[in-house]
Chain A
Amino acid sequence: MNDLMYLAPEIVLVATGLVVLLTGVFLSPKSKNVLGYLATLGILAALALTVKSFGLLTMDGFQVGYSIFSDTLSIDALSQFFKLVFLVVALIVSLASIKYTENSEHTEEFYTLMLFATVGMMVVASANDLIVLFCAFELASLATYALAGFEKQNPRSLEGAMKYFVIGSVSAALMLFGISFVYGATGTTSIPMIAANSGLLTQNPIGLVAVVLLVAGFGFKMALVPFHMWAPDAYQGSPSVVSALLAAGSKKMGFVAAFRIFIVALAALQPDWQLAFTILAVVTMTFGNVVAVAQTSVKRMLAYSSLAQAGYIAMAFAVMTPVALTGGIMYALAHAFMKAGAFIAAGVVVWMVSSEKTGNLNIPDHLDSFRGLGKRMPLAALSMTIFVFALAGIPPTAGFMAKFVLFSSTIQAGMTWLAVIAILNSALSLFYYARLVKYMYFMPPEGKKVSIPLPYAAALLVAVAGVLAMGLWPEPFVEMAMRAAMVLMPL
């Protein structure tokens, strides 16, 4: 009974998902809009419960945490922090979806899949056993495969979903293969037990094979170059709300899983995977930024910038100090606000273009659609500006604070060269982010002023609030992230 109590947020979400699915069947298509509000309420409740659990953890000591269900799930600062990340993304996505699903026949499926995907991600954050982790991973993945292809009549959506599905399945296979090697060497799938038996892994060449397979498997989910091929297509093709979920949410699932597996379970093999992640981080951030410069589709540009951002977070593995992990974990939350917000803002423009039935419908998120957005939709343009400046790391935003902690840790660890590369990348990224701002504010508008639908506005405001709160009042976030990092690297 006690164990269930710690899973209250997940239970609430599952229940909401089932209620949404069941009531949706009985509702007429016009009244289905209520489902979106229902889902949002469920997420808010889960969010409140998760925030409350921080209080519980503080009382009983953060570093201990709880192991529940025979040590298969752990409830600690790290899991709770990432649950917060996923719930924040889910909140932003579900708010924005209220408008997106307005005329859809499959509203109930959409929200149920979205909620289940979030539950999957949250369980991954807690998973303390490789089998549980894999199952939760697949729960989240399967739900997002379906969501990515939600616009069945749109060939782009289908193509993106197909690539995402095929490559995702391959990555799942690789991951499972890696897990089986770990099991083969140590005889257990429990993360603490693997860590305890790490001697068996280091003596055995199988350990190295497992590292390679797991890096590749998780690399897909984190969209690290060269395992990123699916990401730009999936992010561009998916409905914008789903792109937000993928880029801001499910990518973080890859990170939290990798944090636990590599840093806790495979700590003994640190030199091997640390080198791999150092190379991956440098390649990913550089490739992402360079390619993003050439994009004319804003969602594709955001997709490549998302690669670059993953490269920054991967620096946490490369540096591997408590501060670096704090920075990486903070970056995950900052990125959730910034990227989810940016995709929603892009979604608002897509909505505007397609509802006007003018312009280039083939790529509704073309840069040209953003011309004069500052005049046409001031709120959308202003929030997009805040998001892209945050992504570029301009103060006083979440992006700056996260980069501040992460990059400074690199200097502390004596890896100045890595900080220089990251900073040059950061400067390069400013170019394409500023270009978007230029289109929104410096180009004459084509078309009339459009009022922004309330659900979109609400989603954008939540994201803006998050970005600014982390930038202006970073203390609580730094502290939470620091406690989460201590789970991985007890001082």
Chain B
Amino acid sequence: MLPVASLLILVPLIFAVVTFFTKTKDQAAGLGFLGSLVTLGLTLYAYLNFDSSTAAMQFYESVKWIPILGVNYSVGIDGISMPLILLNVLVIPLLILYSWKENREAPNRFYGLILTMQAAVIGVFVSLDFVVFYIFWELTLIPLFFIVNIWGGEKRTHASYKFFIYTHVASLVMLLGIFGLFYAALNQTGVATFDIRELITQFQFLQPGLMKDGIFLAILFGFLAKMPTFPFHSWLPEAYSEAPTAGSVLFILLKIGGYGLFRISLPMLPNTGNPHLMIMMLGLLGSVSIVYGALLALRQKDLKRMIAYSSLSHMGYVTLGAAGLVSLSVAGAMFQQFSHGLIMSILFMSAGAIQTSTGTRIINNLGGLAKKMPMLTVVMMVGFMASLGLPGLTGFIAEFLVLTFTFANLPVFVLIALLAIVITAGYHLWAMQRAMFGVYNEKLGDVRDINSLQVFSMATIALLVLYFGLNPSPVLDMMIKNSEAIVSLAAVLGV
């Protein structure tokens, strides 16, 4: 058996380093693409050898790293991490294809950073030790900071700083929580360990009190700010819209906040001082995010900002489904992460293509683009329809599961979230209608359609959206056992 979990980090990293030394655009993109294909191959190997019928950790590896502090390099893959790794390795090669023909400065750094990002994100998904987890978690900041700052839009400096410092502070708060958990467990057992699963187990034996809830909230804060969830989202619109297209897609693939929620916060939640209060809080934040994000998306003039806010709205389903604490609502929330990654990739790629062709993203300045950009319009339609939750596409499955199964526990919040469905349909259709249909805005001049590589990459993602929308079980099955495990933890305590 290959040590897949480690290879999934190492391979992109090695390719990233080599890519930094390439000279031409084609070399850089080619090598980047090759690297991402190898990573995809490894993941498919893991996927084929993956046992969906268990919540247990697979491909587990553990090596002592700093024994004095109980830090081990432990990695593994289970049903929580596998779908997100899949999402990453599926989209990144397509992303590289998408941006292959774009002209930009220093392509070697561009593709090198994309691969570094891939390694860091997969690193978070496979880490089973808090220190390793935190290191990869922080490492994701650096490539994104550079990508936004070098290749971003006009306000890129401001946006990248805001993102960097905002989420870094949130991560530091999370680190405080991790330290707290480590020492609380150390005092209890006398064994120093940073093992994530062991510390979560130890968490339940801690004395209830301010310290215990403080640990939980500090760690949760790191995740909520990264997802992001209302009211910690203020870095999102700027970072998403100022980033270059590839950067926006990488932000979308940065599913580590939601991942942390499932991996760490939810298993800890039933043991907090007042789990019902925490569930209420999560449910409230989720449903407010859904409605608030949708309302803000409705009034945006800039296409990319609209998509950014719709992303906030859609991530709300993750929080809401997690708060539902029913196995299918949790699985729906996990599926939303996967689906959101695919759909938003199409949307950001479309917005990027429109900007490149027309030089603007202001929706009212567009119009009738369908005539000039038919290929784009087709794939973009799939993305928009999936985003507004049309049945047969992945977005529907996720939202349906979340809303249906959360209703049993948190009916009020589901009702609030239902309001947003209308708004979501509204702003999507309205934007499509104004930008793509109607009379062609002659001021835009001669507009070229997307190139064949872009058609291929976007269409492939669109097909994935359709495929997993019709047949979600290849991904959903992996999640079910793990969401059942999370829920049964809560059920034992009567939460």
A and B assemble together: yes
Interface string of B155-176 (1 = CB under 8 A from A): 0010001001100110011011
Q: Are A394 and B141 in contact (CB under 8 A)?
A: yes
Select the stretch in A124-132, A265-273, A274-282, A434-442 that faces chain B: A434-442
Q: Are B176 and A416 in contact (CB under 8 A)?
A: yes
Choose among A395, A400, A430, A478 the residue that contacts B165 (Cβ–Cβ < 8 A).
Answer: A430
Interface string of A67-79 (1 = CB under 8 A from B): 0000000000000
Q: Are A426 and B65 in contact (CB under 8 A)?
A: no
Cα(A438)–Cα(B164), bound, Å: 12
A184 within 8 A of B: no
Closest to A428 in B: B165
Interface string of B188-225 (1 = CB under 8 A from A): 00000000000000000000000000000000000000
B56 within 8 A of A: no
CB-contacts of A401-445 with B (<8 A)? 404-405, 407-408, 411-412, 416, 419-420, 423-424, 426-427, 430-431, 434, 438, 441-442
Chain A residues with Cβ below 8 Å from B134 are: 395
Q: Are A427 and B135 in contact (CB under 8 A)?
A: no
A253 within 8 A of B: no
Q: Are A396 and B168 in contact (CB under 8 A)?
A: no
The number of chain A residues with a CB under 8 A from chain B is 29
A65 within 8 A of B: no
Interface string of A194-215 (1 = CB under 8 A from B): 0000000000000000000000
CB-contacts of A349-397 with B (<8 A)? 389, 394-396
Q: Are B142 and A441 in contact (CB under 8 A)?
A: no
Cα(A416)–Cα(B175), bound, Å: 12
B456 within 8 A of A: no
Chain B residues with Cβ below 8 Å from A420 are: 176
Closest to B149 in A: A442
A105 within 8 A of B: no
Q: Are B172 and A396 in contact (CB under 8 A)?
A: no
Closest to B172 in A: A423
Q: Are B176 and A423 in contact (CB under 8 A)?
A: yes
Closest to A426 in B: B172
Q: Are B165 and A431 in contact (CB under 8 A)?
A: yes
Q: Are A419 and B66 in contact (CB under 8 A)?
A: no
Q: Are B66 and A438 in contact (CB under 8 A)?
A: no
From known contacts A411-B180, A430-B168, infer whether A395 and B139 are also in contact, taking CB-CB under 8 Å: yes
A3 within 8 A of B: no
Chain A residues with Cβ below 8 Å from B180 are: 411, 416
Shortest distance from the beta carbon of A486 to any chain B beta carbon, whole Å? 12
Cα(A478)–Cα(B134), bound, Å: 19
Chain A residues with Cβ below 8 Å from B145 are: 434
Closest to A401 in B: B66
A192 within 8 A of B: no
Closest to B180 in A: A411
Shortest distance from the beta carbon of A390 to any chain B beta carbon, whole Å? 12
Chain B residues with Cβ below 8 Å from A407 are: 175, 179
The number of chain B residues with a CB under 8 A from chain A is 31
B182 within 8 A of A: yes
Shortest distance from the beta carbon of B323 to any chain A beta carbon, whole Å? 28
Give how many A-B residue pairs fall within 8 Å (CB-CB): 70
Chain B residues with Cβ below 8 Å from A419 are: 176, 179
Cα(A324)–Cα(B141), bound, Å: 28
A446 within 8 A of B: no
Shortest distance from the beta carbon of A79 to any chain B beta carbon, whole Å? 21
Shortest distance from the beta carbon of A213 to any chain B beta carbon, whole Å? 36
B150 within 8 A of A: yes
Most chain B CB within a 10 A radius of its CB, from A389, A405, A442? A442
Cα(A420)–Cα(B173), bound, Å: 8
B1 within 8 A of A: no
Chain B residues with Cβ below 8 Å from A479 are: 68
Closest to A375 in B: B106
B494 within 8 A of A: no
Cα(A394)–Cα(B136), bound, Å: 10
Q: Are B157 and A395 in contact (CB under 8 A)?
A: no
B363 within 8 A of A: no
Choose among B65, B175, B182 the residue that contacts A423 (Cβ–Cβ < 8 A).
Answer: B175
Q: Are A431 and B161 in contact (CB under 8 A)?
A: yes
Chain B residues with Cβ below 8 Å from A416 are: 176, 180
Q: Are B172 and A427 in contact (CB under 8 A)?
A: yes
Cα(A396)–Cα(B139), bound, Å: 8
Chain B residues with Cβ below 8 Å from A474 are: 65-66
Cα(A379)–Cα(B475), bound, Å: 44
Chain A residues with Cβ below 8 Å from B150 are: 441-442
B183 within 8 A of A: yes
From known contacts A411-B179, A442-B149, infer whether A394 and B157 are also in contact, taking CB-CB under 8 Å: no
Q: Are B176 and A482 in contact (CB under 8 A)?
A: no
Cα(A431)–Cα(B164), bound, Å: 9
CB-contacts of B235-269 with A (<8 A)? none
CB-contacts of B281-339 with A (<8 A)? none
Choose among B135, B141, B183, B186 the residue that contacts A400 (Cβ–Cβ < 8 A).
Answer: B135
CB-contacts of B117-167 with A (<8 A)? 131, 134-135, 138-139, 141-142, 145-146, 149-150, 157, 161, 164-165
Chain B residues with Cβ below 8 Å from A405 are: 69
Chain A residues with Cβ below 8 Å from B172 are: 423, 426-427
A selection of 14 A-B contacts at a CB cut-off of 8 Å is: A394-B138, A394-B139, A394-B142, A396-B135, A408-B179, A411-B176, A426-B172, A430-B164, A430-B165, A431-B161, A434-B164, A434-B165, A442-B149, A475-B66
Q: Which residues of B contact A (CB under 8 A)?
A: 65-69, 131, 134-135, 138-139, 141-142, 145-146, 149-150, 157, 161, 164-165, 168-169, 172-173, 175-176, 179-180, 182-183, 186
- 7 nearest A-B pairs in the assembled complex, by CB-CB distance: A395-B135, A411-B179, A408-B179, A412-B183, A423-B172, A427-B169, A475-B66
